[in-house]
Amino acid sequence: MYQTRWSSGRSLHRLIPFFVFAFSLSFLKLLIFSSLSPSPAFAQSHPVDQVNQNDGNHSESELESAPQVEPQPTVAPPVEPTMSSQPVLDPLNSPYPVPWNWVLAMLSERGTVPNSKFRYYRSQSLISPDGQYAAYSRIQMQLSADFTQSRVASVLFLENLRTGELQTITASSPFADNPFLSGEPNSTGTIAILIPIAWSETSDRVLAREFESIFGSDLASDFAVVWDRQTNRTHTIAPTIVRYSNAVLLGWSQSNPEQVLFRAGMIGEENWSLYAVDVQGQTAYASNDQPVTFGRMVNSIWSGPQAHMQP
């Protein structure tokens, strides 16, 4: 059993103050969120090889074991393009984009194959600095004729590359659930995309971005999901006390490695503030801090859109 806690300690409507995210279907393929980007400049991204489709859900242990590498902090995270011919989009202009191009592409073709309501996507694998673990996500999209009734859900997998053992991690944020378990929760219209973005320098913790929103609404924001390897506990956190309309997860705190950094602010404000948040949800200003990440992204033949479709 995996113990999961929500550390922000506030009621649901206070925990996720979000910015305006309403959009119409006719504008889904435009850069509708470019005006919402935070003011600080992020480092240049590095493209990866084009992904390939495959109908399997293979484990990373089938690959050659990754060699151990000396952990090096970096402020410039690798960016995962979802469609090689298109610019990478993200609803919050995050330095760690969710596969939003794929979401938009699936919405645009939702009426072409009426008997195939589900689509699947697998993220790249993030290898821990000690080479022992790989973290990756599987994302499920349930399509509806009314795009506001579509649903995106996901689960994070942690694989021990020595033993092949798999663990599943889910957030405890408002829209999160495991889409691959039996039963269908009443959460149509919600978006909950969980992707790994960093390991700690000692490989004892993994940090994932939980992006949540509702199709056709004004709700959208990030949560941080931290899994602790020593305690086998998962923490879902977001800035507390401070006033903001949306928050963007940036990575680990360089000054306090046990904390994570968010940039948060109100829509329309030019300068957003930087906050450090611990696993208990305690939030502090961190104007002189900067985000760091550890780990190595691996792009395999199983990354990207999955050919398997569930009727």
Q: What is the pLDDT of residues 230-277, one digit of tens each?
A: 999 999 999 999 999 899 999 999 999 999 999 999 888 888 999 999
Query: Helix or strand or coil: residue 34?
Result: helix
List helix spans (H) across the chain.
12-15, 100-108
Cβ contacts of 273 within 8 Å, gap of 6 or more:
242, 244, 263, 264, 265, 285, 287
Phi-psi region of 75 (alpha: psi -120 to 50; beta: other; left: phi over 0): alpha
Distance in angstroms (rounded) separating the CA atoms of residues 243 and 306: 39
pLDDT value at residue 96: 97
pLDDT value at residue 237: 95
Amino acid at 22: A
pLDDT value at residue 90: 94
From residue 290, give the alpha-carbon distance in Å to each of 69, 98, 252.
23, 21, 8
Q: How many CA atoms lie within 13 A of 78 on its CB side?
A: 19
Cα angle at 56 between 298 and 213, to 5 degrees? 70
pLDDT value at residue 24: 36
pTM > 0.75: yes or no: no
Distance in angstroms (rounded) separating the CA atoms of residues 191 and 267: 20
Residues of the chain with pLDDT under 70: 1-86, 111-116, 177-186, 307-311
Length of the chain in terms of residues written: 311
> Which of 271, 267, 300 has its CA nearest to residue 122?
300
Distance in angstroms (rounded) separating the CA atoms of residues 155 and 2: 13
